[in-house]
Amino acid sequence: MGADICRQHCAIDFVNGTVIIMPLDRAASVCVNDSRIYSATPLTHGAFVLVGSKHLFQFVDPVTSQVSYTPIFVETF
């Protein structure tokens, strides 16, 4: 699919008040704060998420964020 992205790469879900991310394919590279994850992992405010080898995002939790947020960059889908 390009840039090391699998057809079904990962899922982000809201479970019991927590946002989690999980890889959907064994070959799917997903990193949270520079650590590769292999199972459901909670996202905390400000966490960096790398999907594949080139798609970097920063998670902003509007519930816990008390300050205004200025993104480093924005990637649209």
39-55 residue pLDDT tens: 999 999 999 999 999 99
User: Quick one: what percent of the chain has pLDDT higher than 90?
Assistant: 68
- pTM (2 d.p.): 0.78
The predicted structure's pLDDT at residue 64: 77
Residue 38 has pLDDT above 60, yes or no: yes
Q: Which domains does the chain have, with CATH numbers?
A: 1-77 (2.60.200.20)
What's the rounded mean pLDDT across residues 17-23?
A: 94
Sign of the Cα torsion 10, 42, 18, 39 reads positive
Average pLDDT across the chain, whole number: 86
Per-residue pLDDT, 25: 93
